[in-house]
Structure 1
Amino acid sequence: MGKVVLWMIRIVAGLMVLAGLVMTLVYYLAAQSLPDYNVTRQTAGITAPVEIVRNNANIPHIFAQNDADVFFGLGYVHAQDRLWQMMMMRRTAQGRLSEVFGRRTLQADELMRRLDLYTLAKAAVEVQDDDTKAALKAYSSGVNAYLSRVNSEALGRGAPEFFLFPNDVSPWQPADSIAILKLLGVQLAGQLEEELLRARVTLALPEDRVKDILPDIPGTGVAALPDYAALLDVPKTRFANLTKRQDLPDLWPAPRRGQAGASNAWAASAKRSAAGGTLLANDPHLGFTAPSIWYLARLELSTGGVIGGTIPGMPAMMVGRSDSFGWGVTSSYLDDQDLHVEKLNPDNPNEVQTPEGFKPLIKRGSIVQIKDEAPVTFDLQWSENGPILPGHLFDLGIITPPGHAMSLNWTLLTKEDRSMSAAIRLLRSKTVMEGIAAGSDYVAPSLTLTMADQENIAMKVIGAMPKRDAQHQTRGRIPSPGWVVENRWQGILSYSANPEFVQPTGGIVGNTNNKLVDRPFPNHMSYDWGDSQRVQRWSRLMQAREVHTRDSFIEAQLDSVSVTARTLLPLVGADLWFTGDAAPDGTPERARQRALELLANWNGEMNEHMPEPLIYSAWLRALQTRLIRDELGPLAGEFTQIEPIFIERVYRDVEGAGIWCDVIQSAPKETCTDIARVALDDALLWLDENAGGKQESLRWGDFHEVTHKHPVLGDIPFLSWFVNIRQSTSGGDNTLMRGRTAGTGNNPYRNVHGAGYRGVYDFADPNSSLFVISTGQSGHPLSRHYDDLGELWRRGEYTPMSLDPALARAASVGVTQLVPKN
């Protein structure tokens, strides 16, 4: 018996030693790709020495004797710190993920191939101005210089992920950078999903109820729409299955409804600034990833130094400042997408009807290589309106009748795309008017540009605005017959038609993705906007002070008070507050009374340490489900987030919207108070089952946790604990410190979308400007800079970024000298 125990001990010890050796080997191999920042290297591709000073936050300050070498340096540091991320974005844009990940990413590749994104990017290189072509070429050379070092010196294959997946990395090309900008447009586009959902809802509900659940943002708008089935002369019975939606395919690049881009930006003129200089704050919102899509950098160009947020893969600085000019971006929500129903020729399905009769589709094959499988060939087809998208993409088949196909018209899908040139000119701008002029060539993704120079502030929508016919049958709100001439785009509006606000009399401009203009169709911007709630809180904070400071702008960026909660709770609970008989502990009545008591004393602050945000969110979620599931059935599952205007319409009984409170299938007539009471009980039961404990001990941050997820390794057991960054957060769907909830899954309140970058610039003292990103600068999980800035971000803190070279060198973590190779 003793021998058996002895041998068991030896075996266990041996396994532990073996496991330790394996872990040591894995660590050693992975660590080989950690870059050395304090080194001098001979490098081909530059004409003079390049100095890269990294401050203590690992933010590179790039100095060179000419601009081409500065952009070379930016490409070099992007590849050093974010090589895997860059290659993943490039593969996504090219539609080549399946070469690495197999069939599970085939639908993502198919979408990119059908949009023909990379072909358009290659063609767009030729239309850039000479300065941009030079920047793209130099940037590519910088990336390739680092790739050459990885290949020649066996630097751990460049990133740990390449040990798990094929590491054949082709040289970087200028088209790759333009493709990544177009990919960003895919990630920010939400109008397609809005059209799809609105079409499905119009088939399920009468017209007067559609405007309840999908209301117009307050202001001039159109609620009435043509009947979708009648528009196509198809009986409604052809659209019996309105609810079958598939899960998002792996690494799907397009957002679900409600998860497209957002953002905040605002600026104050000198007269509204305590220090006498203009102020600007910006926090663009995107899905959280590890690492963040943002990368902080400083470039010393011939036109002066610029510092701010870059996106690995591009030589542009999308947000930032110089010594005299700052700019920020928000999603504009411009309606730059239209779905068209194309009628197929019954005698030849390769032809579609046009105003001039049937015409052939433009067609060519595209081969997708699949790991460990035979390749797949897609027949790409384009009509005069745009690419044909098959019914399984976006589940478009739900609303596509037999004998028809769906095409997508989109400003992004053009070869004449000078957006990169506009971005390069923007970072060279010195004044607001130069910034506005720089945006004239910008095409997509459409953005609202907020700017400040030393004297002026301004806001300008940049991006191509489609010109639609005033007689358009659906006004672009639902898919329209593509063969009707009035439904086709008539070109692009002049840049002067893009909304513009320069030096307003009130001294403040800002945007929270709210409705910007009230122009009637067809000169409108959009019928769908990203915000109707945050802007109310922002307006109050801006007007509460006669003058602002850098700190007051920071306070607004980090504000977590929900105007939505303050508005809806008094409406929903109007007949429930402080009512009912006394009830003993442990009963549903007592639990309800305690929850109402907590909410009655709450100021609407979505603080991570408080229970009230969680109780409120669970109540409103249960309430909306109760209101819509009998009318919409399974289609109710598409409304994953709270629709504040809908609930307000119902509880104010706007145009008879209170009818939603009556349960269709029941004999009694339920009141809105009845539904509110039952929904609160639903919410408290869910909380008891999923959190337990007393209501006072609940914590919003335990559920509103953000996971900065590694897009590939983040779902792999064990590895996920090393590569994903988890943080408890404040804020919510409708707060300025926005933390968009997932709306799905076991925990629908997890934070999945928000400010990956924050910047606040004070031009009274530009070097006091502050920046932060949501993770760290490095994409290497073993680097101490993988999550160090994320700690600041989570606490609502920032890091200073100065254009003073001495300050950067004073606390550097390394200086890289690149010298020309003979």
Structure 2
Amino acid sequence: MKYISFLLALGITITLAIYVSKPIGPVPPIATLIDPNHGFWQNMISEDDLAETEVLLEGLNSPVQIVYDKNLIPHIFAQNEEDLYKAQGYVTAKHRLWQMEFQTRAAAGRLSEIVGDVALELDRMTRRKGLGYGAELGMDFLKESDPETLRYLEAYASGVNQYINSIGPGQLPVEYKILNYRPEEWTPYKSLLLLKYMSDMLVGDRDLEYSNLRKILGEQMLNKLYPDYPKDADPVIESDKVWEFEPLEIQKPDSLEYPDDLLSMKPLEQPLPGTGSNNWAVAPSKTKNGHPILANDPHLSLNLPSLWYAIQLTTPDYSVKGASLPGALGVISGFNENIAWGVTNATKDARDWYKITFQDEQRKAYKYGDQWRPTNFRIEEIKVKDQDAFLDTVVYTHYGPVVYDKSFRSERQDVNFALKWTVHMGSNEQKTFLLLNKATNHEDYNVALDNFTAPAQNFVFASKNGDIAMRIQGKFALKWPEQGKFFMDGADPRMEWQKFIPNEQNPSTLNPNRGFVASANQHPVASSYPYYVFDNSYEHYRNRRINGKLREMEDITVEDMKKLQFDDFYFQASEALPTMLNLLGGDYSKEGNTEKYIKQLKEWDYYADPNQKAPTLYYVWWGKLYNQIWQAWDDFGVSVVKPNSYQTIQLLKNEPNDSIFDLEKTQEIENAKSHVLKSFEMMVKEISDWEQNEGDYAWANFKQTSIQHLVPQFKSFSETNVYTGGGAGIVNATSERHGASWRMVVELGDKPTAFGIYPGGQSGNPGSKYYKNFIPVWAEGNYLDFNLRSQKDTTNLLYQTTLK
């Protein structure tokens, strides 16, 4: 049956390749693709049917044993770390080669090489942001200061390349065959590039939009609609934390001038809505067994192959298990015999923009104070499949690359803006995870985090000796209030980042009195923290739900933590819907299905479970209402960011007759009730139409969660209509295309007890039974037993391979 399914999926994909050749590039040679010895037939066999008992691997110091469990999770046993990472590279490439290379091509701005000019705009943007430049600086940093990490990266690359060199055309992943290209050599640079790519996925900025809003709204209205610190904020670090350090001094200069015209450039892509994460740890005093428990579930795009690859890495000195990133060394979120750790995005503004004034059109010098500084030119040659290469000239200033200029995303000849970003500063994030993998206590954890620059992350920690901790880590510029919130004048030296906050003064906490630490992308600290903290996208609901539950829970078990990770309570709806129903009153048409919808909304318990209908009604109504209220923002003619859902709900609750609700383009005077009534009518029509055309509007049917192949056009390699609840802003943050990309719960007793799951499978081959076998388990909120495995353990054994 699996062969029939795979053949059907492949046939559909090839048909798409032929009939939709523009999005995915030229059609592959069909004769090669259907060749029984080299074509797709070879990709119909699962890994256990191709098991090898021995493999020769050059450069090993000692034999390495790899034990695969029944889910194809490798447990690598090596005698030293260099052999360990060489084996990790080999094994990861064996199962995820195409994914590894595709993602680093995307990070390098090289997709046009394999799919044609459809990716040219994306490649230009990637290169202009300087991801490759940042990875080059990372390589220089390693060569100068950390030869050991570089040696491990070279060992990993050797393992990858030995796998690449061992396979013929028949063993190539099917995506290479469809897109008609071959893998190239792996290098340490590519591993660093992958980590820069993750930073780009997780960082955002709204300097452009805020600059426009400042001009349109004025500072008073801007501060009202976009407050830096809302009243209900429940920060990552407990609000009563006492900061026991002497802060560095910083003062805002007087009479600063900002670019004063509206800016019509197209903004950079921001992290997509739904991108976020949860993590927490509870102290022994709050758990039933008297052991700390740690949980982590990063929320990212739901893709196949999965972003994560589960693995255990063991030497005589330590054994670590968890989720790795294919292409990077070690485990990113996981545990060993002594500690566990996990990460969430800290959503802290780490990119700033500077207006550059060039001396003339040649752009060889730019104004800085009363001087003209020389620029550097970087010629980006972007190869395009079946076309001539595209040459893009990017100007570099001391701030960073000039992303916006007359040739890119600017409608005006005189607008030039440079990007300043910590990714361009030379760093060694890889070392953080290498050290965490073998850390034994809180001190080791802190030493490991000192190496981490970008992206800003909330690192949760627990150890078997009972410690729990949270640290918000990154390289954070010391800024005066509002610095970096708007575009700045690059000619004014006072706009510079002056210093960086010392690592030991980054927000952190150890064993707080409340008995837990937690983060969910919310405000990092209370206003008592002595440094300016800003980001436009802090979360307002998941964090309050998690903190509220952890405050009230006692005798906590691992099962309690699993249940909390899968919690479907729609906190936003619980705060907004009563106000919406109150404003609506009885002033609506009673025709059709209206009364049924009202009854379902009034009886709703606010859980977004997959079989419930009320979440669909609320979701559609809220979306219509939000767009009704802020529709005038679409008419500004420039890029802006609309007020967030939290602030909108506060206005509905507390100021329903505020003039902000009135639409100037209409003759009527609108208030909150006007928008609630109008949006309700729109919701009724949409859901009635859905019932008529699609049938059941239960939440899972309406939400239609899908786990998409990395090439969206390869729809038959994706999983659609996954039956599961949750949603954006909910602890179980499973929306249409985003969700918990990895769930892990670990109790740290004498021996750790661990559980983990992600929505995919260990194999990157769509023809394998291990390609998406985890999805049903994940969708139902279940887990795999994820305990550390000994080398002699034969339970649930799939097969073993010895590298010699």
TM-score by length of 2: 0.87
CA-CA distance at 1:555 after TM superposition = 1.0
Q: Which residue of 2 aligns with 1:633?
A: 635
Matches within 5 A, 1:263-278: 263-278=277-292
Read off the aligned partner of 2:652 and give its amino acid letter: Y
* Equivalent-residue separation in structure 1 for 2:198 and 2:140 (angstroms): 18
Separation in structure 2 between the aligned mates of residue 634 and residue 29 of structure 1, nearest angstrom = 56
Measure the CA separation in 1 of the matches of 2:622 and 2:232: 28
Spell out, residue by residue over 1:755-803, the C-alpha distance to the aligned partner (whole angstroms, 9 max, x if none): 1100000113645310011111111000101001122111111101221
1:153-302 equivalences under 5 Å are 154=168, 156-191=170-205, 194-211=206-223, 213-218=225-230, 231-232=257-258, 234-236=260-262, 239=263, 242=264, 255-259=269-273, 261-302=275-316
Which runs of structure 2 are paired with 1:420-459 in the superposition (5 Å)?
420-454=430-464, 455-459=466-470
**Contact 2:78 2:84 (C-alpha < 8 Å) held by counterparts:** yes
1:725, CA displacement in angstroms?
5.0
Whole-Å separation in 2 of the counterparts to 1:29 and 1:638:
51
Deviations 1:453-502 (Å, cap 9, x if unpaired)? 0110000112111123x3x7x42111111111221111322111210100
- Does the CA contact (< 8 Å) of 2:369 and 2:492 recur in 1? yes
Alpha-carbon separation, structure 2, partners of 1:220 and 1:811: 48
Shift of 1:396: 5.4
Structure 1 residues 733 and 369, CA gap change in structure 2 (3 angstroms): same
Q: Any idea what the Cα deviations from partners look like across 1:243-277, whole Å, max 9, x if unmatched?
A: x859xxxxxxx753544841100001111111111
1:403 equivalent to 2:414? Answer yes
Paired with 1:521 and 1:276, the residues of 2 have a C-alpha distance of 32
For residues 331 and 127 of structure 1, do their structure 2 counterparts lie closer, same or farther at Cα, with a shift above 3 Å needed?
farther
**How far 1:376 moved relative to its partner?**
1.5
Match status 1:597 vs 2:599:
yes
Q: Which position in structure 1 is the counterpart of 2:88?
A: 74
Give, in whole Å, the separation in 1 of the partners of 2:720 and 2:713: 13
Q: What is the rounded CA distance, in whole Å, between the counterparts of 1:51 and 1:347 in structure 2?
A: 62
Listed as ranges, the matches of 1:444-483 within 5 Å are 444-454=454-464, 455-468=466-479, 470=480, 474-483=482-491
Decide whether the 8 Å contact of 2:212 with 2:638 is kept in 1.
no
CA distance in 2, matches of 1:354, 1:606: 54
Give the unaligned 5+ runs of structure 2: 1-29, 234-251
**Could you tell me whether the CA contact under 8 Å between 1:568 and 1:647 is conserved in 2?**
no
Corresponding residue number in structure 2 for 1:650: 651
Is the alpha carbon distance of 1:108 and 1:123 closer, same or farther for their aligned partners in structure 2, counting shifts above 3 Å? farther
- AA aligned to 1:643 is N
Structure 2: which amino acid aligns with 1:492? F
Alignment correspondent of 2:513: 505
Deviation of 1:164 (Å): 2.2
Task: Determine if contact 2:259/2:489 at 8 Å carries over to the other structure.
Answer: no
Deviations along 1:622-642, one digit per CA (max 9) or x if unpaired, are 1111111135427699769x9
1:288 to 1:392, Cα distance in 2 relative to 1, 3 A: farther
The CA deviation string for residues 112-156 of structure 1, in whole angstroms up to 9 with x for no partner, is 333024433432331453432232122111111211211xxx252
1:143 is aligned to 160
Deviations 1:533-583 (A, max 9, x none): 111111221122123111111111000101110001111221334x35994
Tell me which of 613, 620, 623 is aligned to 1:621.
623
- Mark the runs of 5 or more structure 1 residues left unpaired by the alignment: 1-17, 247-253, 741-750
1:551 and 2:555 are equivalent in the alignment: no
Aligned mates of 2:290, 2:529 — CA distance in 1: 41
User: For residues 804 and 232 of structure 1, what CA distance do their matches in structure 2 show?
Assistant: 59
Tell me the secondary structure at the aligned position of residue 317 of structure 1.
coil
Higher relative contact order structure (alpha carbons within 8 Å, sequence separation ≥ 6): 2
Q: Is the 8 A contact 1:592 1:680 kept in 2?
A: no
Which residue of structure 2 lines up, in the alignment, with residue 13 of structure 1? none
Local SS of the residue matching 1:164:
helix
Asked if the contact 1:443/1:464 (under 8 Å) is kept, the reply is yes
1:807–1:351 Cα change, 3 Å? same
Deviates more, 1:161-170 or 1:421-430: 161-170
Pair 1:128–1:261, CA change in 2 (3 A): farther
Whole-Å separation in 2 of the counterparts to 1:131 and 1:124: 12
What amino acid maps onto 2:334 in structure 1?
Answer: G
Contact 1:767–1:801 under 8 Å retained in 2: no
Whether the 8 Å CA contact 2:274–2:733 is kept in 1: the answer is no
Distance 2:668 2:199 in 1: 50
* 1:658, distance to aligned residue in structure 2 (A): 2.6
**1:603 aligned partner, one-letter code:** D
**What CA distance in whole angstroms lies between the structure 2 residues aligned with 1:212 and 1:766?**
51
Q: Could you tell me how far 1:69 is from its partner in structure 2? A: 1.2
| Inter-partner Cα distance in structure 2 for 1:530 and 1:582 | 38
CA distance in structure 2 between the aligned counterparts of 1:660 and 1:446, rounded to whole angstroms: 35
Deviation at 1:22, TM superposition (A): 5.3
- The answer to whether 1:781 aligns with 2:795 is no
**Structure 2 vs 1, CA of residues 316 and 604 (structure 1 numbering), >3 Å: closer, same or farther?**
same
Asked if structure 2 preserves the Cα contact closer than 8 Å seen for 1:333 and 1:529, the reply is yes
Instruction: Name the counterpart of 2:17.
Output: none
* Aligned length in residues: 748
Structure 2 counterpart SS, 1:815: strand
- Pairwise CA RMSD: 2.9
Equivalent residue for 1:39, pick from 38, 53, 56:
53
2:68 corresponding residue in structure 1: 54
C-alpha separation in 2, matches of 1:487 and 1:624? 36
Distance 1:56 1:335 in 2: 43
Shift of 1:111: 2.7
Once the 2 structures are TM-superposed, how far is the Cα of residue 109 of structure 1 from its aligned partner?
2.1
**Secondary structure at the counterpart of residue 386 of structure 1:** coil
Distance of aligned partners of 1:391 and 1:365 in 2 relative to their CA distance in 1, 3 Å threshold? closer
Letter in 1 for 2:421: W
User: Per the alignment, do residues 37 and 636 of structure 1 end up closer, same or farther by CA in structure 2, a change over 3 Å counting?
Assistant: farther
| Pair 1:767–1:28, CA change in 2 (3 A) | same
Distance in 1 separating the partners of 2:84 and 2:462: 25
Please, which of 44, 47, 64 is the counterpart of residue 78 of structure 2? 64
Distance 1:33 1:635 in 2: 54
Q: 1:733 to 1:212 in 2, by over 3 A?
A: farther
| Superposition deviation, residue 726 in structure 1 | 4.4
Shift in Å at residue 811 of structure 1? 1.0
The DSSP-based 3-state class of the residue aligned with 2:722 is strand
Whole-Å separation in 1 of the counterparts to 2:190 and 2:210: 35
Q: Aligned pair 1:98/2:112, yes or no?
A: yes
Give yes or no for contact 1:650–1:659 (8 Å, CA) kept in 2. no
8 Å CA contact 1:649–1:658 kept in 2: the answer is no
Query: 2:292·2:747 contact (CA, 8 Å) conserved in 1?
Result: yes
Contact 1:775 1:787 in 2 (8 A): yes
Q: 1:375 matched to which residue of 2? A: 389
Residue 437 of structure 2 aligns with an amino acid whose one-letter code is: L
Q: Give the drift of 1:87.
A: 0.7
The answer to whether residue 684 in structure 2 is matched with residue 671 in structure 1 is no
